[in-house]
Chains A and B, each alone.
Chain A
C-alpha cells in the first residue's frame, strides 16, 4: 500500500488498460449469442464493477482487522475510504445491470435473486456509514464500525455467492442462460474482459487512494491545530 501510494506507473497502466477496454469493448467483434446479441458488450462495463466491489470491500475488511489489531487510526481511514469506493462500484454495477436488463429482460428490475442480493449488500455498507456518523467519540466510532464492517462482510459473502445459486435466476450463467462458459469459447471477448477487470479495479484503487491521502491530510491538519 505504501509503495503504491508513492509510485505512479500503475496509473499509466490503468489508463492504457481502460483505453483499450473502451475502444476494444465497443468495437471488437463479439459472438452472436441468442437473446444477448450485441448487449454482450456490457460484460466489460458491468461485471468488472462487481469484481472491483468485492476486491475493494475485501481490502476494507483487511484494514478493519488491522485497525482492531493495532489501533492505528490510519488503517481506519484506509478501511472506510475503500468501503466508500466499494459503494460507488456497487451503484455503478446495479445501474449498468439495470440498463442491460431493460433491453434483454424487458424491465430494469425483475426481482431476480442476484439483483436483490446486490441491493442488500449495498444497504449493508450504507448502514456502515450511517453507523459511523452516529457515534461521536472518534476512537469508539473507528472500533465499532470496524467490527460491523467485518461482521457484515462475512454475511455478505453467502448472500452474494451462495444464495443466488440456490434459486433460479435469469442472470447469465444461471439456469441454462449463456454465461461464462459460452464466453470462454471466444478469446477476443476474454482478452478485453480481463483487461477491463484489471483496469476498472485499478481505477477504483486510484480514486480510493486519492481519498485516503485527502483524509490523512485532514487528520494531520486537525492534529496540528
Chain B
C-alpha cells in the first residue's frame, strides 16, 4: 500500500507535465479572479472564491487519478487487492489536494490579503473539507474512468454529489472568518465529518464492484 502511494508520487514526479499543468491552472485561475474581483473582495467573497477555486482544482487534479492507470490496470488487477488500491488512492489524492489547497492559500494571501483570524480552526476545516472533496472525486473518477467522455462525466457526476460537503465547508469557513466561535460551528462540523465518513465507507464498499468489471 505504501509502495502504491510511493509509486503515484514517483509517477507524478517523473512526468512533471500534469503537476506543472495543475500548478499553472491554480495560479492562473487565482490570478484571473484577482483581476476580475479586484476592489470588492469582502470576507464573504474571499471565502466563496477560495472554495470555488479549491473545488475546480480538485476536480481537475483528481480526475487523472484513475485515468493515468489505463495501461497498468490489468497488471494491478492480478497483483493487488482492490481495497488496498482504493485506500492508497484515497490517501494519495488527499495529500495531493491538501498540498494544492495550502499553495492556493498562500497565493490568496499574497493577492487578496489574509482575513483569517483563527488559523488552527480554518486549517482544520480545510482538512476536513479537502478529505470529503478528494475522496468523493476519487470515487467519481473511478466511475467516470469506465465511461466514454470522461472529463464531462466527471463534472456531471461529481458536482451534484459534492454539494453537501461543499455547502457545509463553505458555511463553516464563513463562520470561522466572521466570528470564529467554535460552539457555532460544532454541529455543522459533526455533520461534515459524518458525511466524510459516509463517503469513505461507501467508496470502500463499492469500489471492488467497479474494479471487477
Residues in A lying within 8 Å of B, measured CB to CB: 68, 120-121, 123-124, 127, 130-131, 134-136, 139-140, 143-144, 146-148, 150-152, 154-155, 158-159, 162-163, 166-167
Q: From B136, which residue of chain A is reached at the shortest CB distance?
A: A155
Instruction: Please provide the 7 A-B residue pairs with the shortest distance between their CB atoms, ordered closest to farther.
Output: A123-B160, A124-B160, A134-B147, A140-B213, A147-B206, A127-B156, A134-B148
B202 at the interface (CB under 8 A from A): yes
The listed residue (B146, B198, B206) touching A158 by CB distance below 8 A is: B198
A10 to chain B, nearest CB (A): 33
On whether the beta carbons of B209 and A146 are closer than 8 Å, the reply is yes
CA distance A150 to B201 in the complex (A): 12
Q: Which residues of B contact A158 (CB under 8 A)?
A: 164, 191, 194-195, 198
Q: Which residues of B contact A159 (CB under 8 A)?
A: 163-164
> Chain B's nearest CB lies how many Å from the CB of A134?
4
* Chain A interface main SS type: helix
Supplied contacts A134-B148, A148-B157, A151-B139, 4 more A-B pairs, CB within 8 Å? A130-B153, A144-B143, A155-B161, A163-B191
Given contacts A130-B153, A147-B143, contact A136 B148 (CB under 8 A): yes
10 contacts between A and B (CB under 8 A): A130-B157, A134-B153, A143-B212, A144-B143, A152-B161, A155-B195, A155-B198, A159-B163, A163-B191, A167-B171
Q: Are B161 and A151 in contact (CB under 8 A)?
A: yes
User: What is the chain A residue whose CB lies nearest that of B198?
Assistant: A154
Question: For the complex, what is the distance from the CA of A146 to the CA of B212, rounded to whole Å?
Answer: 13
A144 touches B213 (CB 8 A): yes
Closest to A124 in B: B160
Note all chain A residues with C-beta closer than 8 A to B24: none
Residues in B with CB closer than 8 Å to A162 are: 191
> Is A163's CB under 8 angstroms from B164's CB?
yes
In the complex, whether B167 has a CB less than 8 A from a CB of chain A is yes
**A166: which of B188, B198, B203 is its contact (CB, 8 Å)?**
B188
Interface residues of B in 33-91 (CB under 8 A from A): none
Quick one: CB contact mask for B4-44 with A, threshold 8 Å, 1 for yes? 00000000000000000000000000000000000000000
